[in-house]
Amino acid sequence: MFRREKFHKIGHYIYLSSKIFLIILLTAILIDLFFEMNYLTVPTYSRDNLDTMSPYTVAIVPGAAVYGKKPSPVLEDRLRCAVLLYKKKKVKKILLSGDNGTKTYNELTPMLNYMLKNKVRKQDIFMDYSGFRTYDTLIRAKILYNVEDAVIVTQRFHQPRASFIAEKIGIKTAVMESDLHIYNDRVKYRIREFFARNLAWMDIFLSDIPRNYKGETYSILGNGELTWKTRDLIKSK
């Protein structure tokens, strides 16, 4: 009798746990689909229709992996597209944002070197060394760099989340999809993005959006060199 009751309780627990898991999974899938549907409303560009884009103030380039001093293929494609926007005079400035949280990992300097190699004027390159997440990148762009309108330059899998966050915090947004290659890890990127979208949804709807942020403020229409670390200023001379 006792053993039967014990098995009954275990079965009931498994049933409830499965039900809760399915509810959470369904909610997560619906949130992911919500991002896809919202993306349909965002002005979207690629190299094929770039000439139809109206000018914006700045291109925001989120960081991605670097291999030593070399940008990964994903990051290099973002940088290449940002340079294209700049040279076609679709943006006046470029804001590079990435992870430089430790002495041994630095996304920003390879990004800066790419811009300089491609003849982007130093004063038009802004640096944000604390873009640890897409959310951080865009909040900091709005609050610390006074960005009001921007073209977000990143791959298609990333754009629904990035553009959603930007619009929710008050940045007038267009996007340029920087898929110039077929990436080896594209399935991994999409799976990771599934979870990142759900986190972004919670950031926007379940927590207060910051109205101020620690750090020095700059005008995105000013001199970008003021945002560079001393080491990058010295190396660029």
Are 112 and 228 members of one domain?
yes
Are 140 and 196 members of one domain?
yes
- Write the CB contacts of 11 (distance below 8 Å, at least 6 apart in sequence): none
pLDDT at 5 > cutoff 70: no
pLDDT average, residue stretch 198-212: 87
Q: Give the closest residue to 131 by CA, choosing from 96, 162, 160.
A: 96
Are 13 and 91 members of one domain?
no
Domain count across the chain: 2
What does the H/E/C string look like for 162-209? Answer: HHHHHHHCCCEEEEEECCCCCCCCHHHHHHHHHHHHHHHHHHHHCCCC
What's the confidence (pLDDT) of residue 9? Answer: 66
Are 7 and 90 members of one domain?
no
Are 50 and 15 members of one domain?
no
CB atoms within 10 A of CB 195: 11
Are 33 and 58 members of one domain?
no
User: How many angstroms separate the first and last alpha carbons of the chain?
Assistant: 83
Are 68 and 172 members of one domain?
yes
Are 65 and 125 members of one domain?
yes
Are 137 and 181 members of one domain?
yes
User: pLDDT of 86-123, one tens digit each?
Assistant: 999 999 999 999 888 677 788 999 999 999 999 999 99
DSSP 222: S
The CATH number of the domain holding residue 56 is 3.40.50.620
pLDDT average, residue stretch 33-42: 96
Are 30 and 128 members of one domain?
no
**Domain limits at 20?**
1-41
Are 102 and 137 members of one domain?
yes
